[in-house]
Amino acid sequence: MPGHIVITGGAGFIGSHLVDRLLAEGGWRVTVVDNFDPFYPRVAKERNIAAHRSDPSFRLIEADILADDLEERLGPEPIDRLVHIAAKAGVRPSINDPIAYHRVNVTGTLRLLEMARKRAVPHFILASSSSVYGENPNVPWKEDEPALVPISPYAATKLAAEQFARVCSDLHGMRITTLRFFTVYGPRQRPDLAIHQFFRKISSGQTIQRFGDGTTRRDYTYVDDIIRGVRAALDREQGDRYALYNLGNSGTVMLRDLITAIEREVGRPALIEQCPEQPGDVPQTFADVSKGAAGPGFCSVHNAC
């Protein structure tokens, strides 16, 4: 099945790990589209893909997903899979700039869906987020949970992207798989994310900010598990044309317990600045992954893929 795969956001945290996996497998021709958004330093993304550049099966197109000439720059080679990971990330920054988040995460996704339709891409994989579940108390969260109510612009844009993907699949018969990622961590993690910040600051004696009383919970999922789930989705050729799956660990860790574990790991106590809860932050995330485990031609992060 390996062929030509296009990965948007392929120089970022999750995307670069997916490129690692596909190049290691062999047989894939990987085209990465990334605009090196200055949300965090470019040098970090350059490090992510440094080893890829010398691989003849790897190609980088530095471009925005909204660029008018993107399709031309991709060239005429057929695309066998399109994995759309690129997005403006972060709940808190989205509150300050919701229009930019909508432009990239919604309009950008729709333009890629249209390109995939016109080019008859056999399978489109969309990276979504656990944030779409909002403050829903019915945990663990199932994919068919009705009446989702996002509480941040970021979450609203991810849910809107999901809805456009579903509509495109229904109208045009496109095979589309949407994957909701749950709090991904691991090597190359974005520097703004909690685990990265906590390790860096606690180990160097800097103060960390703890928002709320420390009882918020997250379903932290290791990046390798996420990549196993994405890789399994690439092989989904049966079942409904549109499918939606959670990719999570299906367990939660309390914030104060996370900090304690990092203190133990680095061998020094955290200096904590207590801060109020932040608008847009949900009290918990918790994935039900049973659908992926039972799905046709698919698997959950708990199964070997």
What are the residue numbers of the active site? 154
Residue (of 177, 183, 154) closest to 237 by Cα position: 177
**Residue 235 is encoded by which pair of tokens?**
């092989």
3-class DSSP state of 223: helix
Q: Which residue has the tokens 């919604």?
A: 106
Report residue 236: phi and psi, to 5°.
-75, 105
Separation of CA 133 from chain center: 15
Listed in order, strand segments (DSSP E) in the chain are: 4-8, 29-34, 58-62, 81-84, 124-129, 176-181, 184-185, 207-211, 217-218, 221-222, 242-247, 253-254, 271-275
Number of other CB atoms surrounding residue 55 within 10 Å: 13
3-class DSSP state of 4: strand
Q: Are 129 and 158 in contact (CB under 8 A)?
A: yes
As a whole number of angstroms, the distance between CA 62 and CA 60 comes to 6
Cross-strand bridge partners of residue 127: 179
